[in-house]
Each structure stands twice: as C-alpha cells, then as structure tokens.
Amino acid sequence: MSLDNKEKREKKDIEGSRFREEIHSVAVRAGKRTYFFDVKATRKDELYLTITESKKRFDQKGDPFFEKHKIFLYREDFEKFSDGLNDVLGFIEDNQPIVTEIDEPEAVTAEYSNVEFEDLAR
C-alpha cells in the first residue's frame, strides 16, 4: 500500500524531520551556478517556494564544497515578488546595450628569425 504525498509528509513530521519534502523541483544550470526551484508544503499543507543558488567553491586545502543561498517565498508574497522581478527584468531589457557583433580577439602573429644551431655555439 503506497502513501500519498500528504501521508508521506505527515509521517516525516512525526519522525521529527526538520526538512520538508520537495513536491516539485526544477534545477537550472547557469554557468558556474545552479539554481533550484523547489515547491514544498507546510505542516498545514500550504505550498511555498524555495529558491536556492548553489555555487561550487574550494576551501583552503583545495577540497570542494557548495556555497548555498536560499530564499523562502510564501504564497501571500508570490504576486509582489513576481511584479518586482518582472519590473527589474523589463528595466534590464530596456536599458541593456544591444551587442550586434561578437568582438573576437585579433590573431597574434609573431615574427621569428631563422636561427641555426650552429649560430648558438658562437
């Protein structure tokens, strides 16, 4: 007999887990960073969003670790958050200079003189 999501969450709460089960998750890889958009539920079964930025770093010994920054976004804030995000994205679109051509570095050509091994012995 399988448990539905609500029963699974209740079972985890009873077991004392402080971490909420992800109901839906999307990972977006963007260069050196990964963004995770995770939908979770409160104990009252209200859905909320966590946005996590994860970036691989290295400690002083050279061992890798992941630096994470997390935002919790609750349903009552979705509209205001979305409005603010859309506003700043629109501003960037309107004010970012348009790049029409890709600047490629010019080829560097070195001039070499013809040296013979016999010349080195002199």
pLDDT reported for residue 22: 80
pLDDT reported for residue 100: 73
What's the rounded Cα separation, in Å, for the pair 50 and 40? 8
Sign of CA dihedral 66, 71, 72, 73: negative
What's the rounded Cα separation, in Å, for the pair 38 and 28? 11
What's the rounded Cα separation, in Å, for the pair 49 and 81? 11
Of the two residues 4 and 89, the one the predictor is more confident about is: 89
Of the two residues 8 and 36, the one the predictor is more confident about is: 36
pLDDT in tens, 16-29: 444 567 899 999 99
Taking the whole predicted model, whether its pTM rises above 0.85 is answered as: no
What's the rounded Cα separation, in Å, for the pair 65 and 56? 6
What's the rounded Cα separation, in Å, for the pair 67 and 55? 5
CATH code of the domain in which 32 resides: 3.10.450.700
Other CB atoms closer than 10 Å to residue 54's CB: what's the count?
17
- Token pair belonging to 20: 């909420």
pLDDT reported for residue 15: 44
Domain span at 10: 5-88
Share of the chain above pLDDT 70, in %: 66
Question: Could you give the number of structural domains in the chain?
Answer: 1
In a domain, 96, yes or no: no
Coil, strand, or helix at residue 30?
strand
In a domain, 93, yes or no: no
In a domain, 111, yes or no: no
pLDDT in tens, 43-85: 888 999 999 999 999 999 999 999 999 999 999 999 999 999 9
Of the two residues 7 and 83, the one the predictor is more confident about is: 83
